[in-house]
Structure 1
């Protein structure tokens, strides 16, 4: 429950309450600093590591020059006349005081004032706004979102200098109190969608957002576990987020998360990448078409090959060369399934391999998985070829979650085709189409952008 206690005019009572609520004596980074301002007792509370020392030195130097007769009658007057800093506020509710203090601001109590003076001179540890590793562009800007939400909003403001750009800040999580920014263009965003998103954000009651943006996504929209297709589009590029805002979409930023959540979304939005915005129209069309064809092949290439190998009489004469010329000790479907797991194993190993060893280990893995696997009688060379194409083609689309959704659909097609032949293949295709068409997102629209009731 939020604290309803009010700040009193006695600095000793306020300090005693702050020490009662906060583990100031136990936590080395929670600091209390007592000083005299205009012959009155005063106390600072701040978190070490969040405060800008140079600014606070100048502020405290100005406080030491305040005389008794210069002290205003109220804290508001003191903030206006004696506090030479820009971001200053006065708060009388202890719940708001604690919330601001734990967010990194400096709280000042002065004897005789019934409000707390909040000085926002905080700074967060942050890395440079370098280009994201996953979502790179050939001709675009080289900056990207970081884990500090204020930096991320500034990157968007730098690109959209329009008074209609609104950024509303809310706090979610009783314990984490994570800052969440809702960004939209007031003259372009869909009012119904905006109202729906705001209502869902206000209705979230949770202790914390443990995994930041992913936890928020799960709270906003309860997904069905059996449909693996993503409900949201994420980007780590501020130029992509700005372009989506100008198209009338809504962007959600979460503190401690270096990516933006974009609403509404469709299958065409998810497979887009930053390069689509920077090239001429003809080049954009070609890139989108080729990416769509390759995405289609990643799902259907191996199941179709398995289907034709089970029904060789269906294979046209001009494609007879793709038929298997030799057989190995393992059936075709198990070869595909084993390689699917092996590719994921190599991917996970690459994530945890030190950079200095990644190249030699990749060469060793390629040799072992390639020539030796065929010679040992585990796999056919054709199977290795098609799975190599699928493994590389998965990286043509930028969305990691969509890649695994397509992988699950491919595995489903392989298993159904192996068990029920063409009937299973047809049933798998129907399941894939239904999974896409009826994948209802937060905006109330499916992946095909058809309004669902």
Structure 2
């Protein structure tokens, strides 16, 4: 989403020149306070509070109202400086050591650049500037309103954890730390967005994530030149290998347990401040058809449900297309009793099967979007009642046939089984061009659309990793987790066996290199 506006600047003082003049750091703290007042002119939420140290030294506290804990500031900053500040000597004035010795706050850092001070203050830090010093102090006493940790609505499970990511970066990183209590869990912050200065955290497991993957992710993050980043969706669009592909190339999740499991598999998690949706790279096609509940229930249930998802995604993608092709060109494939029933149902329909399918699919998508965008209290009622009423009315009016309504309904239910919403969007979009091919060319058009789709998937990559890894290129070790959800204890034994084999192979290679083989 792009926001454009007109900025009116007085001709006597261009905005850029005034900003550059105020961003200069002075050796006098009082001048720095005046520059900050000019920078934040007409910003009523920026608080400038001046007070005197014990001994008469002047200082100013600057912070954003509503983002700091006033009680901490009073107890750990103002009260110690006013009552217990001891100057090293009258000639030295205010020194960094004397201020650090007096303050009782936990996190206190020094700064000598205006750009750094402005960014920290806008991030919620409290800035202390003594008037007779060239150093500013940043004090962490951040406190602001935030959403509590709740279960994500889009990724709910019957059995599993109920917590989810929120819009606060500190909360999200702590949710990961609670699950992976290892010093190998690394979190590297990166600032992006020329206007928003959004914090992006790169999270990975040291020793599990490959160096090539880390270098590639860092390179792509460094190349982001957006002026504003308000959600992880902005970052996702800048990191994709093929931005014109209809398929998502980064896995998204709001669940800390899902992010943790992918971290332990050697993938990289990207957290964006202000967004509850984490990005996971690289993403494989099979990962979009897996749910965390597959691993929380017994392996029999996980395997059967996984097979059901594979069948459902083909029904959601090709169901209406096959129906249109068979009804229009291949009636001989339908049993006689069934074709007579379908012919009777379609006797009053004035449109061909292609137009009928497109009308019903468009109406179903409109009802789905209406149900998703309306308030929860009325959204479900509109989608369910609308589908029943409009479908029955369309059949009664002779605009569509009952078999077509049933096919569209089955297709819609099958699309809901896909665990990840962004893959479901891709299936919904690709359904329409395949329906058009089927309406003009029959089953040949259906197969042409399917072959083109598979060809695109075979050429697609996510951070250099083939999108269909495990299937093409085929890997027997990965097929154990694609078609069958093995018991947890079998997976651990397999991993230990693979590690032992890798260690033996490495030892053999080392011995051969030393002439001992």
TM-score with structure 2 length normalisation?
0.82
Residue 334 of structure 2 corresponds to residue 315 of structure 1: yes
> What are the residue-to-residue correspondences of 1:323-402 with 2, within 5 Å?
323-327=342-346, 328-358=349-379, 360-362=381-383, 364-402=385-423
- CA apart distance, 1:440: 2.2
Partner of 2:65: 48
Residue 214 of structure 2 corresponds to residue 157 of structure 1: no
Q: Over alpha carbons, which structure has the higher Rg? A: 2
- CA apart distance, 1:373: 1.4
2:75 to 43, 58, 61: 58
Partner of 1:83: 103
Deviates more, 1:412-421 or 1:67-76: 67-76
Task: Name the SS of the counterpart of 2:246 in structure 1.
Answer: coil
| Cα pair distance change 1:173/1:182, threshold 3 Å | same
Task: Name the SS of the counterpart of 1:42 in structure 2.
Answer: strand
Aligned length: 447
Alignment partners' CA distance in 1, 2:424 and 2:387 = 22
Deviates more, 1:438-447 or 1:83-92: 438-447
- CA apart distance, 1:127: 0.6
Partner of 1:124: 144
Contact preservation (8 Å) 2:214, 2:268 = yes
Structure 1: state its 5+ residue gaps.
none
What are the superposed Cα offsets for residues 101-130 of structure 1, whole Å, 9 maximum, x if unpaired? 111111110133221100011123211110
What are the superposed Cα offsets for residues 159-191 of structure 1, whole Å, 9 maximum, x if unpaired? 100010000001001111000000000110011
Deviates more, 1:246-255 or 1:388-397: 388-397
- CA apart distance, 1:317: 6.1
| Cα pair distance change 1:84/1:212, threshold 3 Å | same
Partner of 1:101: 121
Partner of 2:265: 247
Alignment partners' CA distance in 1, 2:340 and 2:256 = 48
Residue 291 of structure 2 corresponds to residue 273 of structure 1: yes
Alignment partners' CA distance in 2, 1:287 and 1:364 = 29
| Cα pair distance change 1:78/1:138, threshold 3 Å | farther
- CA apart distance, 1:411: 1.3
1:214 to 233, 236, 241: 233
Alignment partners' CA distance in 1, 2:382 and 2:222 = 49
Structure 2: state its 5+ residue gaps.
1-15, 474-517
| Cα pair distance change 1:215/1:357, threshold 3 Å | closer
TM-score with structure 1 length normalisation?
0.93
Alignment partners' CA distance in 1, 2:450 and 2:285 = 17
Deviates more, 1:299-308 or 1:373-382: 299-308
Alignment partners' CA distance in 2, 1:245 and 1:421 = 45
- CA apart distance, 1:153: 0.4
- CA apart distance, 1:394: 1.4
- CA apart distance, 1:442: 2.5
Alignment partners' CA distance in 1, 2:381 and 2:287 = 37
Name the Cα RMSD after superposition.
2.3
Contact preservation (8 Å) 1:148, 1:255 = yes
1:142 to 154, 162, 174: 162
- CA apart distance, 1:356: 3.6
Alignment partners' CA distance in 2, 1:318 and 1:279 = 43
Partner of 2:510: none
1:430 to 435, 451, 473: 451
Deviates more, 1:322-331 or 1:125-134: 322-331
